[in-house]
Amino acid sequence: MKRIVLLLLVAGILFSFSSCVGKSAQKSGITTSDVNSNPYKFDMNGNPITTEAFAESINDTTKFDKDLFAKRVYELKTFFGEENFLDPSKISISAVVLYSFHHIYYPSLLTMPKGKLLYRQTSVEIMNEEIKKNFNLSSFDATQSDLYSANKNTFEMWQQNYSGTPVYTAETKTLGTDKYELTVTFFANNDTAKKTPLSRSVAVIEKSGGNYVFSSLSSANL
């Protein structure tokens, strides 16, 4: 008897949830069948989620920009957990693909718009080009990433809401032709006077294949 009551209770909850989604979708001129047949195009309330065709990358790494790369050091450390690597091939597949995926659309992830649920798709070709542009990894197998869909032969993700305003100083030293050592010192967000450094990262960035790429990164707390 208890089992029957429990089953009826679960069925009632599922019916109630389905009705709520359907009503919300109808307000937007969307039918429940649309929501059920296109799960990646609607959120849980039946509202349409912005999607787009494969976009060409706007990421330009043909020029060395000290502040842009300082922000990218912060991104690798804070968002992707990659604080130290002697060679880009040592970075995890997940971090390389997710980092490159977002940079197809944004030069800096720190200025990404907030609050917009966005479903992204890109081709294997565009992803490989983006990875090479950021890390010069030509033999990297990006299809081993969890973001790769073998059935669709595409990469897909829900865009993360990365953002932030790190407080830092950046200094560069020329190591050779088109090769720089970038030292970035980070401070607490409220330490706008930059009196007490918290950590320091040293990145080697060099031009390869027409793009400035990360060659190595070392970080330490102070």
The per-residue pLDDT for range 119-145, each reduced to its tens digit, is 889 999 999 999 999 998 877 899 999
Q: What are phi and psi of 106, to 5 degrees?
A: -135, 125
Rounded Cα gap, residues 126 and 121, in angstroms: 10
- pLDDT value, residue 159: 87
Residue located via tokens 């706008």: 192
Counting the structural domains of the chain, the total is 3
Rounded Cα gap, residues 113 and 158, in angstroms: 14
* pLDDT level of residue 45 (50, 70, 90 thresholds): low
Judge whether 19 lies within some domain.
yes
Measure Cα distances from 39 to 55, 91, 119, 155 in Å. 21, 32, 11, 17
Residue 87: DSSP 8-state: S
Rounded Cα gap, residues 41 and 60, in angstroms: 30
Does residue 100 sit in the same domain as residue 146? yes
Q: What are the pLDDT digits (tens) for 131-181?
A: 999 998 877 899 999 999 999 999 999 888 888 899 999 999 999 999 999
- pLDDT value, residue 39: 41
Judge whether 55 lies within some domain.
no
Does residue 106 sit in the same domain as residue 133? yes
Q: In the Cβ-directed half-sphere of 197, how many Cα atoms lie within 13 Å? A: 14
Check residues 16 and 176 and name the one with the higher pLDDT: 176
Does residue 172 sit in the same domain as residue 132? no
Does residue 36 sit in the same domain as residue 89? no
Expressed as residue numbers, the domain containing 101 is 66-158
Does residue 145 sit in the same domain as residue 190? no
Q: Do residues 134 and 103 make contact, with C-beta atoms less than 8 angstroms apart?
A: yes
Q: What are the pLDDT digits (tens) for 89-125?
A: 999 999 999 999 999 999 999 988 877 678 889 999 9
Judge whether 102 lies within some domain.
yes
Q: What are the pLDDT digits (tens) for 27-41?
A: 334 333 333 334 445
Does residue 136 sit in the same domain as residue 207? no
Rounded Cα gap, residues 106 and 180, in angstroms: 23
Does residue 111 sit in the same domain as residue 72? yes
Closest CA to 215 of 2, 112, 18, 69: 69
Does residue 154 sit in the same domain as residue 173? no
* pLDDT level of residue 59 (50, 70, 90 thresholds): confident
